A and B are shown apart, each in its own frame.
Chain A
Amino acid sequence: MIRRLAGLVLLAALTLVPPAAAAEAPKPFRIYMALWRGWEEAAQGFKDYFANQNIPVELIVRNAAQDKSKLPEFVAEVKRLKPDLVFTWGTTVSQEMLGVIGKVDPARHITDIPAVFAIVSQPIEAGLVPSLASSGRNITGATYLASMETQVNLIQSWRRFRHLGMVYNPLEANSLVAIHELEALGRSVGFTLTALPADLADGKPVPASIAAKVAALKAAGVDILYIPPDTFLNVHRDLLTGAALEQRLPSYAAAENPVVTSKAMFGGIYRYYTVGQLTAYKAEQILVHGKAPSAVAIDPPRRLSIIVNMPVVRALEFYPPMKLLGLAEVVDPAGAK
């Protein structure tokens, strides 16, 4: 809840750099921000970073409002204004404005101005960069999905487990990738994964089948339920997490909603605000320290935000270790007792 306060400073967003700071610094950096869903936390984090570091910037903010057709206009405007740097929000904006590898057209894309992207879940798969170590192009950026290893470490730090369970939508490619990664990780770390697909009917997953799958996992001796970032599961999160609670199966979610607005026990995510700050950090490397964008690696923030759903914890009597509790954000609307 606290973090939503950040949203309230939206009003301040469009006021650019305070005049006092501008007077001190001879020439602020001009940054063109191309947004997809308006001013939100990543953009705020991006802006706050410069304010906190006392780096004078002049932000030129444009909102596509999820309208792809506006993006060529943005590119034209960038070419006209010639800012020092371009910030692109999300996979679509980044792909359209910066171009996909192999199909970059200097006439249609921005090539001569360094660019940073944020909130791109899979920059390699999206065709933006060939590797996370270096883009090899005039761009860099921050990812926002936690690696599977980080997530497993987080779960392990709550309680060591031997058997991880998962219910998934067999039609969702992301889930299949997650299964693949977890299996590989399980082999090296030493746990087994039992992943059960939701039943399909008419080429669609059946929500009603979820509870049975959870029960099956419990019966198979699963220690913890892993909930992948999956649209189908997100929509039916109450069914899934409710079933887990009923089976007294602790659950971990790789997304915020199952924990904050449903009954998953805990979760680990990266905050958009932090991702925005990290993107600004990378922009600083380019603008202030003169690094080439290709020399700045693409990575997620260092620290995962941990959310703990306290009522579920109490119901399961599956308590978090003190250290983790100290780091976590606790969701506890009613409070104890």
Chain B
Amino acid sequence: MAWSLPRKVSAALLAILLCTAAATAIFGYSKFEGVLSSLVRSRYSVVVFSIKKDIEDRLALGLPLRQLRQVQDAIEREKIDQPQIQGIEVFDAAGEIIFDTDRGAVGAAVSQDWVQAAQAAGHQTFARSEEDSLIVGLPLVDVLGRVVGAGALRYPAASVAEEVRPLLAGQARSGLILLAGFAALAVLGTYAVLAPFGRRLAAMERQLQTTMAEGGPPPAPADNDPFEARFAAFAASTREALEHMQDATQDVGRLDRLEVRE
């Protein structure tokens, strides 16, 4: 099916509208989530930092990491204080868990990826994500400046977005309605802008057909529009050419017949 011009233009406009809305929504939400999750991470990193400080002070007293029994109590206290925390673990440089809020995990190994992250982090926090939890960790640095392990805190990944999701869902619904409204406006607007254009083309078309068929007067140049002026001139000269041809044909015919008759 052939598409009329307003249809093509409004399709293009709608496509642009849709893509723009999608892009802004995705980027906007992604930025928001980024800001929010960095905020959440920084909050938990405060917790990890206090644990780190506690452990490092004790390490500085010359105690080996695995003998800092008080750390187990400290991390369990933190978890009770902040129930959203899924778990806190302290592991040594080899990745063996020394203390864990989940006591059953003590002695197990964390993934080598964490160990490397801790080694690379220096004094900075490192972040990791697992299936449905996020991890923020801080390396433990001893008096020699060596990373002897790390403390890591595990918190639910979902909690970040969950709180705002209902709000945003409502927002998305009203946004879609609004978009639909403006999409309709776009279509109407396109037709409004291009309708006179189409009408004038149709009018010129009819004009030309009449001029050519009935030999009516050529259309008067309208509106100072050079195109319409050119069109009028065209219609006139075509008509004129047509008449010339017809006259000439008649003349030739007349000459032809005249001689035959004679």
- A binding-site residues for B, Cβ under 8 Å: 2-3, 5-6, 9, 41, 45, 48, 51-54, 271-274, 277-278, 281, 301-303, 305, 326-327, 329
Contacts and interface: CB of A to CB of B under 8 A. Distances in A.
Contacts of A278: 143-144
A256 B65 CA distance: 23
A45 B94 CA distance: 18
Contacts, number: 58
Contacts of B7: none
Nearest to A281: B144
Main secondary structure on A side of the interface with B: helix
Contacts of A281: 144, 146
B76 interface: no
Closest CB pairs A-B (n = 3)? A273-B62, A271-B62, A303-B143
Nearest to A47: B64
5 contacts: A5-B63, A6-B67, A41-B62, A303-B60, A303-B143
B217 to A, nearest CB: 101
A305 B142 contact: no
A87 to B, nearest CB: 16
A48 B61 contact: no
Contacts of B53: 326
Contacts of A9: 67
B96 to A, nearest CB: 9
Nearest to A282: B144
B57 to A, nearest CB: 6
Given A53-B93, A326-B57, A277 B142 contact: yes
Interface in B109-166: 142-146, 148
Given A5-B67, A52-B92, A54-B93, A272 B143 contact: no
A274 B145 contact: no
Given A41-B62, A302-B145, 17 more contacts: A3-B62, A3-B63, A6-B64, A9-B67, A45-B62, A52-B64, A53-B146, A271-B61, A272-B62, A274-B62, A274-B143, A274-B144, A277-B144, A281-B144, A281-B146, A301-B144, A303-B60
A295 B92 CA distance: 29
A273 B144 CA distance: 12
A48 B60 contact: no
A302 B142 CA distance: 9
A281 B61 CA distance: 17
Nearest to B70: A2
A6 B63 CA distance: 7
A305 B58 CA distance: 10
Contacts of B145: 302
A2 B65 contact: no
Contacts of A329: 61
A274 B60 CA distance: 7
B127 to A, nearest CB: 25
B99 to A, nearest CB: 15
A301 B94 contact: no
A164 B113 CA distance: 52
Nearest to B145: A302
B67 A52 contact: no
A3 B61 contact: yes
Contacts of A5: 63, 67
Nearest to B66: A52
A36 to B, nearest CB: 19
B61 A2 contact: yes
Contacts of B146: 53, 281
B110 to A, nearest CB: 14
Interface in B43-97: 53, 57-58, 60-65, 67, 92-94
A50 B144 CA distance: 14
A51 B96 CA distance: 12
Contacts of B142: 277
A162 B58 CA distance: 33
Contacts of B65: 52
Contact of B144 (A6, A54, A302, A305): A302
A4 B64 CA distance: 12
